[in-house]
Amino acid sequence: MIDMIPFLIVLLSALLGFTISYRALEQEENLDFVTSLKHNYRLMFGDFSPDAYSDAGWILFICASTLMTLVMLNMLIAIMSDTYARVMGEIVPSDY
């Protein structure tokens, strides 16, 4: 559990950063913060509507989908495999 805290901090920072960026970029739609946060949260899980993006929105979409899905998933896998290797290294072999 302790190993997940830095990952969650990085994930939430990326989510909030893309939320603020998307809200600033799409000012003509008058999005509030909660709607933009919901949009980026759904984007993180691959649920998005490609018709709603402007030209600059596509650049932000590509960056967000790449960072939040590919990089964060690989980071999570690396953290979990490192924790597993550490735990398995501390196990004392026993014979029953």
Tens place of pLDDT per residue across the chain (96 aa):
788 898 889 999 999 999 998 888 877 677 788 888 888 888 888 887 777 777 778 888 888 888 888 888 899 999 999 989 988 888 877 656
Note whether residue 52 is domain-resident.
yes
> Is residue 49 domain-resident?
yes
- CA 25 from centre of chain: 19
Domain of residue 58 covers: 4-84
- CATH number for 39: 1.10.287
- Note whether residue 90 is domain-resident: no
- Whether 95 maps to a domain, the answer reads no
Nearest to 13 by CA among 51, 48, 64: 64
pLDDT given at position 68: 85
Return d(Cα 92, Cα 71) in angstroms, integer: 34
Residue 77 lies inside a defined structural domain of this protein: yes
Domain count, the chain: 1
Position 78 scores a pLDDT of: 92
Q: Is residue 78 part of a domain?
A: yes
- End-to-end Cα, the chain, rounded Å: 30
